[in-house]
């Protein structure tokens, strides 16, 4: 099996931490101790890949932010991992002047331009530190690997390449060029790390097309010179991608589907991202917190507990992060029961070791037999304790999610939105939900109405006014709706917003097993929803492009092959269906689309999901609100 980009990125950073030398073959070799200095971007890239212990194993005794106040450590070498910005280069120059470290290894996350490189060289000469600057490297690692098959270019707390930034009314050509270049640099880094030049497909007339054109040009220029091409570099530490099909890069614009980012979800990872604070695979949960009910008073501050979801040995997370929440709750309960039975076995064996009386020979035989069993049980104790830590973590997370589901009636919202997206009949009317003071927060209701406006092309202006009035009377900010109403007038809703008619939900007695086992998760009052498998718009488009289906959705999609000497947009007729694709959302992505694509790809295709920014619904609503505020 080929290595993933996440594995390749991890290997590249390990090599960087070893002063860009191949890692020694001997695992017992003591690493050279050094300081790691990174900027905000470098920290975000390293955070999902390395724990503090793993950094220490690589010889990092101290890791600090570039722009923080750092004390001089003159006897220790320093490794820098930063973006090549003017501000950062000025700080590097100051470090040289102040003689902070013994030596300096500068690693730029993406390529540094000649002007800034000359500034850095001049600073080294002025500080008489030229001999201390051991190496300067362009790393091409400007993306954040969250999963083996998922990456993002920027966290949600940065402005660059956000939906708001791309669609704001006062966007200047220079600003748009900067945003597009930011995305192109990230995608270029991704494919350099992958070691393969993609074939690019994109729609016409939006930001995704601008990214495709610029990326095609950048790749084409790099491939044209085989002596300096980054795709011809032989790296003995990485397996060669010989004989593998070139990946298909599907660039999509967020405007092709605004409903999914606002959707109340029902799967574990996406639900945690929506309801809790999940960032860079680190999740925060309020200990013992009960979710606030709509209209409740101020809640006293509670202690927050942070959990790391990066562990590859957390089997429950690896298997069930894309599963519906009830399935996860059942899996946690089954794992708890299994742990308790093994824990009980160790206790019983220890008691058996203290048996007294009876036949001496029988006692010795029993003692010998139990000793062997206890030795076996004790040898598996570290694994058992680790499993217990993971179970405690998931029990805490699942309990917090269940509290929110009950308090906000998230099952009702999920079911209603699924029916809106699949154009099924609603069991509960929208006005009934809006007027129910116990049904969710004002933001939940706003999300529901926006989805209804997006998915129902026939919704009249008077209906929108009516929904807006009800929301406004309950104190909801209507700026996001203002933007969506304008967006509707410029969008061909019947083709852009139709979700698969095969979707929807059904209610079954899925909690019966949980209830009969006296589960710690009290599921009463929560609808038991099973999601029918269906393809979201992004997945339908990817399916049509990979399988080369004749579909109206992709009929006008442009075609770029950077390896061709002359640019041609005609798709080769004899081209075989693609088995590997990278799907990238310009303007923001989410875990719902990611999981839908992985469900589609299972066992038959290799799909990687990427986005310019990973957003939950609250963050996306905030961007829509800002866009609405600009409408005069």
Q: Look-up: residue for tokens 């990456």? A: 151
14 & 103 share domain: yes
What does DSSP assign to residue 509?
-
Residue 396 is encoded by which pair of tokens?
A: 């805490």
526 & 541 share domain: no
Q: Which residue in 123, 69, 121, 75 sits closest to 101, CA to CA?
A: 75
83 & 30 share domain: yes
The stretch 70-76 carries a mean pLDDT of 93
563 & 618 share domain: yes
pLDDT tens-digit series, residues 34-68:
999 999 999 999 999 999 999 999 999 999 999 99
Given pLDDT bands bounded at 50, 70 and 90, which one contains residue 374? low
109 & 167 share domain: no
pLDDT tens-digit series, residues 194-229:
999 999 999 999 999 999 999 999 999 998 877 778
pLDDT, position 196: 92
174 & 308 share domain: no
pTM equals: 0.88
Burial of 454 (0-12, 13-18, 19+ CB in 10 A): buried
The stretch 441-454 carries a mean pLDDT of 95
164 & 289 share domain: no
Q: State the Cα–Cα distance between residues 419 and 477, nearest whole angstrom.
A: 25
216 & 111 share domain: no
pLDDT of residue 243 exceeding 50, the answer is: no
Q: Check: CB of residue 271 under 8 Å from CB of residue 604.
A: no
Number of domains observed in the structure of the chain: 3
571 against 148, higher pLDDT: 148
Residue 375 lies in a domain: no
pLDDT, position 463: 92
Residue 459 lies in a domain: yes
Q: For the chain, give the mean pLDDT.
A: 84
Residue 115 lies in a domain: yes
Q: Which residue in 432, 444, 28, 498 sits closest to 262, CA to CA?
A: 444
238 & 285 share domain: no
Q: State the Cα–Cα distance between residues 317 and 161, nearest whole angstrom.
A: 30
**Close Cβ partners of 429 (under 8 Å, ≥ 6 residues apart):** none
Q: Look-up: residue for tokens 């009463």? A: 524
pLDDT tens-digit series, residues 506-520:
554 444 444 344 345
The stretch 123-150 carries a mean pLDDT of 95
| Last residue in a domain, options 82, 106, 138 | 138
Structural domain boundaries enclosing 86:
5-138
Q: Which residue in 409, 486, 476 sits closest to 449, CA to CA?
A: 476
Given pLDDT bands bounded at 50, 70 and 90, which one contains residue 427? confident
pLDDT, position 160: 67
Residue 41 lies in a domain: yes
Residue 411 lies in a domain: yes
Residue 353 lies in a domain: no
> Long-range contacts for 340-346 (Cβ within 8 Å, ≥24 apart)?
342/377, 342/380, 342/384, 343/384, 345/377, 346/374, 346/377, 346/378, 346/381
Burial of 574 (0-12, 13-18, 19+ CB in 10 A): exposed
**CATH code assigned at 75:** 3.40.50.2060
pLDDT, position 362: 46
| Last residue in a domain, options 99, 122, 138 | 138
Q: State the Cα–Cα distance between residues 209 and 252, nearest whole angstrom.
A: 8
pLDDT of residue 357 exceeding 70, the answer is: no
554 & 597 share domain: yes
Q: State the Cα–Cα distance between residues 598 and 34, nearest whole angstrom.
A: 40
Would you give the end-to-end CA distance of the chain in angstroms?
55
pLDDT tens-digit series, residues 399-420:
999 999 999 999 999 999 999 9
Q: Which residue in 199, 193, 229, 223 sits closest to 212, CA to CA?
A: 199
301 & 427 share domain: yes
| Last residue in a domain, options 515, 531, 547 | 531
pLDDT tens-digit series, residues 21-42:
887 654 556 778 999 999 999 9
pLDDT tens-digit series, residues 560-595:
999 887 877 777 776 788 899 999 999 999 999 999
Residue 358 lies in a domain: no
Run of H or E including 180: helix 173-194
393 against 531, higher pLDDT: 393
What does the radius of gyration of the chain's CA atoms come to, in whole angstroms? 28
94 & 218 share domain: no
Angle formed by the axes of helices 461-473 and 479-490, to 10°?
A: 170
Residue 394 lies in a domain: no
């Amino acid at each position: 099996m080929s290595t993933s980009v996440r594995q390749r990125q991890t290997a590249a950073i390990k090599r960087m931490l070893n002063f860009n030398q191949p890692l020694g073959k001997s695992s017992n070799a003591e690493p050279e101790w050094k300081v790691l200095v990174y900027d905000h971007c470098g920290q975000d890239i390293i955070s999902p890949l390395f724990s503090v212990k793993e950094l220490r194993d690589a010889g990092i005794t101290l890791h600090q932010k570039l722009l923080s106040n750092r004390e001089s450590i003159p006897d220790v070498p320093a490794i820098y991992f930063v973006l090549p910005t003017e501000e950062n280069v000025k700080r590097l120059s100051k470090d040289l002047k102040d003689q902070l470290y013994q030596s300096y290894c500068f690693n730029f996350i993406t390529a540094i331009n000649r002007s800034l490189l000359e500034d850095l060289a001049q600073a080294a000469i002025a500080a008489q530190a030229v001999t201390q600057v051991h190496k300067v490297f362009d790393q091409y690692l400007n993306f954040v690997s969250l999963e083996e098959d998922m990456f993002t270019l920027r966290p949600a707390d940065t402005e660059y390449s956000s939906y708001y930034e791309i669609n704001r009314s006062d966007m200047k050509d220079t600003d748009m060029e900067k945003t597009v270049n930011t995305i192109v640099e990230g995608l270029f880094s991704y494919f350099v790390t992958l070691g393969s030049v993609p074939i690019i497909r994109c729609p016409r007339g939006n930001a995704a097309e601008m990214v495709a054109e610029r990326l095609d040009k950048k790749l084409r220029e790099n491939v044209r010179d085989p002596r300096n091409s980054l795709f011809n570099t032989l790296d003995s530490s990485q397996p060669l991608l010989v004989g593998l099909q070139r990946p298909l890069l599907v660039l999509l614009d967020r405007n092709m589907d605004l409903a999914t980012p606002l959707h109340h979800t029902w799967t574990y990872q996406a639900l945690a991202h929506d309801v809790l604070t999940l960032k860079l695979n680190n999740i925060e949960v309020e200990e013992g917190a009960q979710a606030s009910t709509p209209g409740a008073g101020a809640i006293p501050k509670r202690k927050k507990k942070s959990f790391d979801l990066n562990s590859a040995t957390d089997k429950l997370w690896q298997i069930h992060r894309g599963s519906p929440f009830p399935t996860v709750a059942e899996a946690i309960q089954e794992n708890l029961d299994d742990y308790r039975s093994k824990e009980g076995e160790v206790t019983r064996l220890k008691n058996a070791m203290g048996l007294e009386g009876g036949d001496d020979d029988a006692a010795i035989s029993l003692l010998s037999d139990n000793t062997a069993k206890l030795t076996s049980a004790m040898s598996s104790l570290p694994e058992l304790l680790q499993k217990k830590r993971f179970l405690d973590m998931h029990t805490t997370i699942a309990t917090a999610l269940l509290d929110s589901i009950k308090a906000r009636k998230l099952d009702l919202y999920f079911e209603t939105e699924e029916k809106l997206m699949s154009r099924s009949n609603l069991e509960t009317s929208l006005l009934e939900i809006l007027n129910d003071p116990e049904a969710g927060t004002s933001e939940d209701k706003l999300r529901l109405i926006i989805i209804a406006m997006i998915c129902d092309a026939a919704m009249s202006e008077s209906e929108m006014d009516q929904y807006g009035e009800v929301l406004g009377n309950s104190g909801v900010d209507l700026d996001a709706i203002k933007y969506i109403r304008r967006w509707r007038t410029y969008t061909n809703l019947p083709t852009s917003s139709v979700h698969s008619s095969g979707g929807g939900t059904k209610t079954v007695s899925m909690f019966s097993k949980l209830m009969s086992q006296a589960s710690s998760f009290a599921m009463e009052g929560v609808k038991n929803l099973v999601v029918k498998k269906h393809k979201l718009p992004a997945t339908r488009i990817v399916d049509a492009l990979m399988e080369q289906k004749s579909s109206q959705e992709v009929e006008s999609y442009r075609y770029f092959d950077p390896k061709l000497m002359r640019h041609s947009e005609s798709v080769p007729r004899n081209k075989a269906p693609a088995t590997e694709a990278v799907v990238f959302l310009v303007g923001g992505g989410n875990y719902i689309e990611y999981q839908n694509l992985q469900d589609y790809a299972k066992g038959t295709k290799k799909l990687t999901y990427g986005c310019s920014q990973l957003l939950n619904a609250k963050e996306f609503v905030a961007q829509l609100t800002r866009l609405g505020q600009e409408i005069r």
